[in-house]
Chains A and B, each alone.
Chain A
């Protein structure tokens, strides 16, 4: 059973398009996150939700909009995609700030 799942695994799209990435966790965790890993492997927090409430928004362009319909889901919608958005996006979850469980990642390529 997959603990944290993301879809799609790969996403190739043109500049200017709008796309969404979905994340689901079945661990009963109360906090979910989106991280971005760039080509140099730097991982940076983008958003964090606790019990469906946004608690972290790390200076991410407002083209990125997270949505948490319930505690088990955290989706990421990106408007007007730019070349610099190409990266691997990881969803993660945790229980009250403990160890984080990561999804397999979504590799986004913007052409």
Chain B
């Protein structure tokens, strides 16, 4: 099964509104990361939050992590049309020496101008 499920699967908002995406995961993690993927492009790293952190900010992005609920949220404030993309959470597991990330299914965000 997918480690890292995102909710909602798709989100459509107006420019200027805030967008919130949620991610749930199953195993203990070392860190959780959020990536953006524009259509037909590779993934771009947005932000990394470690398991001992609860909240992190980067520009218009705010990420929270609740390890007791095994969930995270990504908030994009004052959205712009250029934020239109798919957003993925990815977890790095505690037993990773493996170092690979396990990705969620993604949220497709559409920001209407």
Contact = CB atoms under 8 A, between A and B. Distances in A.
Nearest to B100: A45
Contacts of B97: 55
B72 interface: no
B98 interface: yes
Nearest to A97: B99
Interface stretch (B11-19, B20-28, B38-46, B63-71): B38-46
A98 interface: yes
Given A56-B98, A97-B30, A102 B43 contact: yes
A105 B99 contact: no
11 contacts: A31-B99, A33-B100, A35-B103, A41-B37, A41-B106, A48-B98, A56-B99, A92-B43, A97-B96, A102-B44, A105-B42
Given A4-B42, A50-B99, 7 more contacts: A40-B105, A41-B105, A45-B100, A45-B102, A55-B97, A99-B45, A100-B101
